[in-house]
Structure 1
Amino acid sequence: MSHPGISTPIVTGNNCQQTEKRVIRWAISLVPPIVEILRSQETPVRYSEMNSNITIDDYYPAWISAIENETFLTQKHDPKSVGTSYAGFRTVAVKSQSGIKGFIESREYTVRKYKNNNPNHPPDYLQLIPNDQSMVTGSGIKPHSTTPTSSCDSFIIVSGVKQGWHIFAEHSKKIEEKESKGYITLQVEL
């Protein structure tokens, strides 16, 4: 398979060191085009566009697409997985994929857009706060357990490099803690 602007190295001769260096230079040359492809597909908002003109409508189509592709609610956060134990702490949403779609479409929530300060993660960290303050969004489950032990009052939506846009339940106190420790920075309320 050939890609525009990318040539395949030709290995000739018996000099392994030169061949190895050429292969390394060739592999490094692939990084910028691959990064650009991933960025163009990952999120509807470019990382450099961190301004206050962003609205829910900039994210909404990508979220609905992930819901329709059944990738928005990953298995470990799906309420159907409550009976399965996982090695680490996790939250399980109260709503199914279709219930979450109804909630997203209702627009009965406030969105706080945070910047994730971890360079190994995409920067968008979005907290959805239901307008109905009595709404329970999910439950926390301790490692190696199948029993929910705590309730959540918000949803978090992130765009992972491998998982794409996905949602999970979270407690607002945990979000406040992440902000106070500098893990995330509030940018704007949408």
Structure 2
Amino acid sequence: MTNKDQFINTLIQRHNQNALITMKHDPYKVALYTDNGFRTVVSYEITDDPIAMLNAEQFHVEAYQNNQFPQSPEYYVIKPFIHTVTASGATRNIIHSITKDNLVIVKGRNQGYHIFGESTALINWKLNNGQLTSLGLLL
């Protein structure tokens, strides 16, 4: 992505294709996802109206290169200006009270651009351990 406007437009297109929030990260489909592993589910507020959140532009977008998955290196972090819970942790069909304060957009090889939640602490850990390389803010 070259700038924040292009990034937002891409996400709106993915939403219009019903592809921005995958079943794995959709709180309304927690019971349908049968994998036992930990994952995050996006908040109901964002799931219900991601366009409103995107159009409000009350966030920074930081771009990273994902060194852990070189086949899909695009990794973007949406950091809200005001602290908010963007997602929660989940296992199997249970949403836990483990909260995440950022949204992450990755471009999966099979799923294309999609969204999930992540904590600032884990993003910083990935940076410090070489899994992510910062490419700066999208302006």
TM-score normalized with structure 1 length: 0.66
Say which one has the larger Rg: 1
- Unaligned 5+ residue runs, structure 2? none
Change (3 A) 1:88 1:136: same
- State how 1:154-165 maps to structure 2 within 5 Å: 154-165=102-113
8 Å contact 2:31–2:92 — kept in the other structure?
A: no
Aligned position for 2:36 = 87
Deviation at 1:96, TM superposition (A): 4.7
Looking at structure 2, the residues matched to 62 and 181 of structure 1 have their Cα atoms a distance apart, in angstroms, of 29
Partner of 1:138: 87
Q: Distance in 1 between matches of 2:67 and 2:95?
A: 32
Equivalent residue number for residue 25 of structure 1: none
Checking the alignment, whether the CA contact within 8 Å between 1:72 and 1:97 is kept in structure 2 is no
- 1:145-179 per-residue CA deviation (whole Å, 9 max, x = no partner) reads 51313001000011111101111111111111111
**Structure 1 unpaired stretches of 5+:** 1-44, 46-53
Within the alignment, does 1:76 sit opposite 2:15 as a pair? no
Say whether the 8 Å CA contact 2:65–2:73 is kept in structure 1: yes
Q: Contact conserved, 2:11 with 2:20, CA < 8 A, in 1? A: yes
Considering fraction of residues, name the structure with more strand.
2
- 2:73 maps to 123
CA contact under 8 A between 1:158 and 1:165: conserved in structure 2? yes
Give 1:83 shift: 3.5
2:128 counterpart letter in structure 1: S
Aligned to 1:113: 63
Q: In structure 2, what is the equivalent of residue 103 of structure 1?
A: 53
Q: Deviations over 1:53-78 (max 9, x none)?
A: x3112322221110001100001111
- 5 Å matches for 1:1-190? 45=1, 54-84=2-32, 85-94=34-43, 95-133=45-83, 135-141=84-90, 143-144=91-92, 146-190=94-138
Equivalent pairs, count = 136
Q: Give me the CA root mean square deviation.
A: 1.7
Q: What is the letter of the counterpart of residue 42 of structure 2? A: A
Cα distance change of structure 1 residues 81 and 175 upon mapping to structure 2, 3 Å threshold: same
Q: Distance in 2 between matches of 1:92 and 1:119?
A: 21
- Stretches of 4+ aligned residues off by more than 6 angstroms: none
- Following TM superposition, by how much is the alpha carbon of 1:180 offset from its aligned partner in structure 2, in angstroms? 1.1
